[in-house]
Amino acid sequence: MKKLFLVLVILLVQKTTVAQWIEQPTPSPSFNLFSFSFPSLNTGFAVGYGNRMIKTTNSGNNWYNISIFSNTAQDLNSVWFINENTGWMCSTNDTLYHTTNSALTWNRQMKLQSDGQKIFFIDSNTGWILAQPRLYKTTDAGLNWTVINTQMGQYFTFVSPNTGWMASYPGGGSIIHKTTDGGSTWAAQHSTSDFRVIYSLEFIDDNTGWAAGYREHILKTTNGGVNWIQQRDMGNSTPLVSMDFINENTGWVTGGSGYSLYTLNGGTTWNQINLNAGSPKVKFLNSKTGWIIGSKVYKTTTTGLIYKSLQLNVLIEGFYDAIPNSMVGDTAVVYLRSSFSPYSKIDSAKALVNANGVGTFDFVNANNDVNYYISVKHRNSVETWSSSAQSFVANSLNYDITTSQSQAFGNNLRRVNSAPVRFAIFGGDVDQDGTVDATDLSAIDNNASNFISGYVVTDLTGDDFVDGTDFAIADNNAASFVSVIRP
């Protein structure tokens, strides 16, 4: 009996994991979720079919039902919170609802002219509601809403209070429009044909954006929508319904057939994973934490990817103090390079190297059991390479260039402590040209003469002040003709 109970418990708590997307437990009964909003990492809301809402207050570890409008038959189409207490929700009964107590109660704020389809805020004051064909706007944190356009399409997004894009569907394809006055007027930019209907628009700035839709059709612009290039077109009947980019390279698109696509190179190539989540929406809260929510709820804390993790021990000359055997922590960048000439860059990662000289660098393009040179760069230090190529095993790699000079290619390290023996990368390459020379000395001397302080590249000791100590480090290394040594 105890064994049977144990098996049942294991089955009940089991979660589905696909490429670092982990299914989260949700309350019964299950239902399709159409929209979600996370005003913080901990607190989130999701709404959907049949007048249903769920909420989490612990980053999705647990969700619970919120009972609302029990006597009203409607679907909840969109939800948006500007903080943990204040939010809006629109539904299929042409009504906008408002809460100020974290969804404990909802009040009818106004009657819309049609079903509310999307709520979107660019900041805590400025937001829009699409109730096609009307677009409503607020500039006072939702206290008042005004119709600003009566010929809206089905999908829209904004990157600022003034600049946004919209996709309309006149029949046979879509037309992408742009606004520069906050949505009052729109100008057509691009059209699609052969039923390549745009269902999602995503921009990371005024210039760079993507559009996705039916037939697995993906477009990209790098000039604010003036020109669009096709990145993907499978010609099938699968719609791409939601999209979110973390930066200019990494983005996710969700499809209507239960699978998702991701890119690591701005959309040039796409990779597919299968998630049994219906037609879900995708949204990232930061560079690592994201959600895919539809008929099921999935979460990632690794950008949805399996990282190869390098734990690097590195000390920075000038930042290191031998007496306590510690240093001022600072950011460094590590490049993984091919082990074959011309040693091209394979991947890069940025991380904080702490007071103990330890930094963890995560890579998405690296593979296990493949040799890479490790190249370390710091804002005012000489680039330093590993003495030999290294490889990840089981997604992990440790490398230490602090205990032996031979750990760096060409022994290109300075001894900074005798007990314990410690080595550091050379400081003084202020202009990052690969050598410490008169140009670097001149920059340091000029800033020291002007009493420059703060987080500046001419500060070689990390004390936020440029003075003679910084000059002495660079002068010594310039006299020794210190420069980068590569294979």
What pLDDT, in 10s, does the model give residues 67-79?
Answer: 776 666 689 999 9
CATH class for the domain made up of 308-432: mainly beta
Question: DSSP letters along 10-78, please?
Answer: HHHH---EETTEEEPP-PSSP--EEEEE-SSSS-EEEEETTTEEEEESSTTS--EEE---TT----EEE
**Selected residue with higher pLDDT from 16 and 290:** 290
Q: How far apart are CA 443 and CA 313, in angstroms?
A: 29
* Residue 25 to residues 15, 58, 278, 353, 393, Cα–Cα distance (Å): 8, 12, 16, 36, 32
The pLDDT of residue 12:
32
Please give the Cα distance from 86 to 84 (Å, whole number). 6
Which residues neighbour 365 within 8 Å (Cβ) at sequence distance 6 or greater?
Answer: 264, 336, 346, 347
Domain coordinates of the chain in residue numbers? Answer: 15-300, 308-432
> Any idea which residue has 């943990």 for tokens?
84
Q: Are 453 and 466 in contact (CB under 8 A)?
A: yes
pLDDT tens digits, one per residue of 268-319:
999 998 888 888 999 999 989 999 999 999 999 988 888 899 999 999 999 9
- Angstrom distance (rounded) from CA 96 to CA 119: 10
- The pLDDT, as a whole number, for residue 6 is 32
Residue with token string 């559009």: 211
Rounded to an integer, what distance in angstroms lies between the CA atom of residue 348 and that of residue 335? 4
Q: Reduce the DSSP state of residue 363 to 3 states and report it.
A: strand
Cβ neighbour number for residue 210 with a 10 Å cutoff: 24
* pLDDT score of 73: 65
pLDDT given for residue 72 in this prediction = 66
Residue 237 pLDDT: 77
Q: Taking 90 as the threshold, does the pLDDT of residue 187 lie above it?
A: yes
pLDDT above 90 for 487: yes
Q: What is the pLDDT of residue 233?
A: 87
Selection from 247, 96, 188 nearest residue 262 by Cα: 247
Is 60 exceeded by the pLDDT of residue 11?
no
pLDDT score, position 18: 59
Nearest to 96 by CA among 64, 144, 139: 144
Asked if residue 1 has pLDDT above 50, the reply is no
Q: Is the pLDDT of residue 115 over 60?
A: yes
Q: Report yes or no: 290 and 299 within 8 Å, Cβ to Cβ.
A: yes
Average pLDDT over the chain reads 92
Confidence of residue 8 (pLDDT cuts 50, 70, 90): very low
- Which region, left, alpha or beta, applies to residue 399 given φ > 0 means left and ψ of -120 to 50 means alpha? beta
- The H or E element spanning position 198 is strand 198-203
* CATH number of the 15-300 domain: 2.130.10.10
- List of residues 6+ apart from 199 with CB closer than 8 A: 154, 155, 167, 212, 213, 214, 239, 240, 241, 242
Residue type, 314: V
The length of the chain, given as a count of residues = 487
Cα 42 to chain center, whole Å? 17
Q: d(Cα 469, Cα 444) in Å, to the nearest integer?
A: 10
469: helix, coil or strand?
helix
Place of tokens 């007071």: 355
Residue 212 has pLDDT above 90, yes or no: yes
Least confident residue range of 116-130, 159-173, 347-361: 159-173
